[in-house]
Amino acid sequence: MRMRSIGLASVVMVISLTALSSAVSTARPKFYRDDPLLREPESQDAQKAERSDIGDLYEMMYNLFVNPRYKPSGTRARNLNTIDEVPDSSWFTNRIGARTLTVDEVVRGPIVGDPPDPSRWTIIREKDVGVHPGVTARDANGETWFLEFDPSYYPEAATAAVVMATKFFWALGYNQVESFLTTFDPARAAFAPGATIRRPNGKRTPFTRDDLNAVLEHAARRPDGTYRVVAGRLLPGKVLGNFRYEGTRPDDPNDFVPHEQRRELRALRVFGAWLNLTDLKSANTLDTLVTENGRSIVKHYLQDVGSTFGMCNDLHEWDLSWEHFYQGNTTVKRFVSFGFALSPWQTVKYVEGPSIGKFEGDRFDPRTWRPQTPTTAYLELRDDDAFWAARRIAEFSDETIRGIIHTGEFSDPSSEKAIADIVIKRRDKILKVYLPAVNPIVTPALDENNRLTFENAAVAADVAKAPEAYRAAWRQFDNATGETRPIGETTSGTASLEAPRELPTENGSFVAIDISADSPAWGTPVRTYFRRDGDVWKLVGLERMPETIATRVAGSSVKSETQAR
């Protein structure tokens, strides 16, 4: 009996401790004084991070044959601040959409240094990433560059794609390599004394003129014997290999959000569809260890964005952007029909031109666009992630797009125009698909006269009609307990609503407002939170979609979307 009593008492104690601990943990406020966070801190030193690369074969097999059985979590991205935005980080910098970028700024893109001096290239080794021919070389100033040539069948197209894509992705917020269009004259090329190339036996031996000739044989040669190249500047810091589209780096303490839960990586499905980034894979990314503010941090780059626009790995790849390398449903369809069940890529009309490649916008549908293989982050995309991405794309004006495409330096103006027209067409399709797909209330503000104003991103982009009315349900919000108390409801035919009279006035008080529209698609309210800071209301929270939504296994969604097409 005694033993039984002590045992019972112990259980009670454990229960009380547990209950109190959980009470402590749930007592965390919903909003902190520094919300919304504008920069994701890197508080720990990552100097022990080591190089790790992902094998091409492994990544391809995993993405093609494991990921189709992946069931997306359906959860909201986990690297967002409280107003549903992605804070700046070692992954991402808010640029277009967060501030006004001039056309000149976007056209300059990631470039901060001087272009290479191409008067004499000194080759130091082969180019070991990407499918198009290239070498690693030092320019006449002794700076190291990665040179990539146009394949013979796509003169100007591959080099232009790299330059243009780096500017788009830079403006979208990603870390990019500084890339310049320049010239390579083999007659004036030299070989560094220690220049080597990896041979089939796995060993490195001296880089020879014949090795260079082997590269140039596959490159588009100009009539004067020179070659147009895109030169990518060597990234600063210690190379740590590729980042993965799922999980975290186990050697980076600051990397605590699984990559598939990072919105900017999920959103590459939308940005990739827009710019046709078909080779979306870890092998085209790079982590480097750099020192910032006296601390080693890991910086994450989209390193190779050259498989964009009309570029593909080979002249005869017609299915790129329409199908993954392998899809079960299309395999079965073509198998049983002896190929007569045609897939869209077999009949789609591309704009003709070797400097354009295979690019089109008429049959493009961002929902059915496919990279070569699906990454986990790609599969995790939710409508709110896509909406976030579409808003950034909406910020690219026709003028900005044409300005970027002009940096491709096409000798044929019609190629430049054709690519720009297609990018604009694809932009408009993305906006039409993703902006109205969720309640598109953005930039809510509560002014000193207690008037709530906001914008409708879909209406502003002219891809949806304004609703008959907007409705706002007002609640007082207790930041400590999370409890709400209804204050009242107001409606308006415009994006401007008056607040109920009972709005709290004391400093530090919170109000939660559910904003919805008289529209079936936008009936689900966007919940916004404002905090009274002195005499003004500050937006501190925005929730566009539930924390978790129902999902299906990835392969089944591929099937249904393809069939819908």
Partner 1 sequence: MDAGRTWRIVAIAGVVAGLGRAAAAQSLEPQSREAVVEEAQAARIANLHPYAPAKGERLMDKAEKLLNGTTPSWHPFFESAYRGGGFALGAGYLQHVSSFNFVDVRGSYSVSNYKRAEAEFVAPRLFHRRGELSVLGGWRDAPETHFYGVGTDTTLEDRAFFGFRESHASALLTLRPARRLLMVRGGFEVARWSLDGGTGSTPSVDNVFTPVTLPGLGTTTTYLHTRATAGFDWRPSAGYARRGGFYGVTAHDYHDRDNQLGFRQVDYEVIQHVPILREAWTLSLRGIARTTALKDGQQVPFFMTPSLGGGDDLRGFSSWRFRDRNSLLVQGEWRIMVNRYLDTAVFFDAGKVTAHTSDLGFHDMKSDYGFGARFHTPIATPLRIEYARSNEGGRLIVAVSPVF
Site residues for partner 1, 57-116, by CB under 8 A, read: 57-58, 61-62, 81-82
Select the residue interacting with partner 1 from 117, 251, 365, 455 (CB under 8 A). 251
Q: Applying CB under 8 A, does 481 fall inside the site for partner 1?
A: no
Return the closest-CA partner of residue 500 out of 557, 440, 550, 450: 450
Question: How far, CA to CA in Å, does 208 sit from each of 138, 185, 190, 203, 487?
Answer: 16, 16, 10, 15, 79
Chain centroid, CA 20 distance in Å: 42
The Cα 299–Cα 254 span in angstroms is 11
Pick the closer one to partner 1 by CB: 16 or 411.
Answer: 16
Pick the closer one to partner 1 by CB: 1 or 112.
Answer: 1
- Please say whether the beta carbons of 181 and 306 come within 8 A: no
- Please say whether the beta carbons of 546 and 557 come within 8 A: no
27-46: b or e for each residue (b if 16 or more CB lie within 10 Å)? eeebbeeebbeeebebeeeb
Helical spans, DSSP H, in 255-327: 263-266, 268-275
Q: Applying CB under 8 A, does 550 fall inside the site for partner 1?
A: no
Question: How far, CA to CA in Å, does 553 sit from each of 45, 322, 334, 386?
Answer: 38, 20, 23, 19
Q: Applying CB under 8 A, does 199 fall inside the site for partner 1?
A: yes
Asked if residue 525 has a cis previous peptide bond (ω within 30° of 0), the answer is no
The amino acid sitting at 142 is G
Select the residue interacting with partner 1 from 103, 193, 224, 335 (CB under 8 A). 335
Question: How far, CA to CA in Å, does 173 sit from each of 18, 98, 110, 357, 393?
Answer: 43, 10, 10, 26, 11
Q: Applying CB under 8 A, does 482 fall inside the site for partner 1?
A: no
Pick the closer one to partner 1 by CB: 120 or 333.
Answer: 333
Select the residue interacting with partner 1 from 50, 362, 409, 518 (CB under 8 A). 50
Rounded to the nearest whole angstrom, what is the least distance from the CB of residue 205 to partner 1 in the complex? 5
Pick the closer one to partner 1 by CB: 103 or 350.
Answer: 350
Return the closest-CA partner of residue 243 out of 92, 109, 78: 92
Rounded to the nearest whole angstrom, what is the least distance from the CB of residue 83 to partner 1 in the complex? 12
The Cα 219–Cα 309 span in angstroms is 19
Pick the closer one to partner 1 by CB: 349 or 501.
Answer: 349
* Strand duo 190-198 + 122-126: pairing: parallel
495-528: b or e for each residue (b if 16 or more CB lie within 10 Å)? bebebeeebeeeeebbbbbbbbbebeebeebbbb
Rounded to the nearest whole angstrom, what is the least distance from the CB of residue 331 to partner 1 in the complex? 5
Pick the closer one to partner 1 by CB: 200 or 413.
Answer: 200
Rounded to the nearest whole angstrom, what is the least distance from the CB of residue 201 to partner 1 in the complex? 3
State both tokens at 194. 């220690």
Select the residue interacting with partner 1 from 56, 114, 409, 483 (CB under 8 A). 56
Rounded to the nearest whole angstrom, what is the least distance from the CB of residue 206 to partner 1 in the complex? 10
The Cα 446–Cα 529 span in angstroms is 10
Q: Applying CB under 8 A, does 201 fall inside the site for partner 1?
A: yes
Return the closest-CA partner of residue 559 out of 323, 346, 231, 344: 323
510 to 539: interface string for partner 1, x by CB under 8 A: ------------------------------
> SS3 for 309?
coil
Q: Applying CB under 8 A, does 26 fall inside the site for partner 1?
A: no
Binding residues for partner 1, total number by CB under 8 A: 78
Exposure of 399 in the CB half-sphere (CA atoms within 13 A): 5
Q: Applying CB under 8 A, does 547 fall inside the site for partner 1?
A: no
Per CB under 8 A, the segment of 250-258, 435-443, 483-491, 546-554 that binds partner 1 is 250-258
Per CB under 8 A, the segment of 224-232, 260-268, 323-331, 469-477 that binds partner 1 is 323-331
Q: Applying CB under 8 A, does 16 fall inside the site for partner 1?
A: yes
| Beta carbons within 8 Å of 180's beta carbon, 6+ residues apart | 111, 115, 116, 163, 230, 231, 233
Select the residue interacting with partner 1 from 152, 325, 476, 538 (CB under 8 A). 325
- Please say whether the beta carbons of 356 and 156 come within 8 A: no
Select the residue interacting with partner 1 from 74, 115, 185, 318 (CB under 8 A). 318
Pick the closer one to partner 1 by CB: 12 or 536.
Answer: 12
149 to 188: interface string for partner 1, x by CB under 8 A: ----------------------------------------
Rounded to the nearest whole angstrom, what is the least distance from the CB of residue 491 to partner 1 in the complex? 34
The amino acid sitting at 563 is Q
Among positions 339-368, residues that touch partner 1 (CB under 8 A) are 339, 342-343, 345-347
Per CB under 8 A, the segment of 100-108, 142-150, 315-323, 479-487 that binds partner 1 is 315-323
Select the residue interacting with partner 1 from 40, 139, 260, 360 (CB under 8 A). 40
Select the residue interacting with partner 1 from 140, 141, 239, 250 (CB under 8 A). 250
Select the residue interacting with partner 1 from 102, 119, 141, 213 (CB under 8 A). 213
Among positions 252-311, residues that touch partner 1 (CB under 8 A) are 252-256
Select the residue interacting with partner 1 from 10, 141, 397, 563 (CB under 8 A). 10
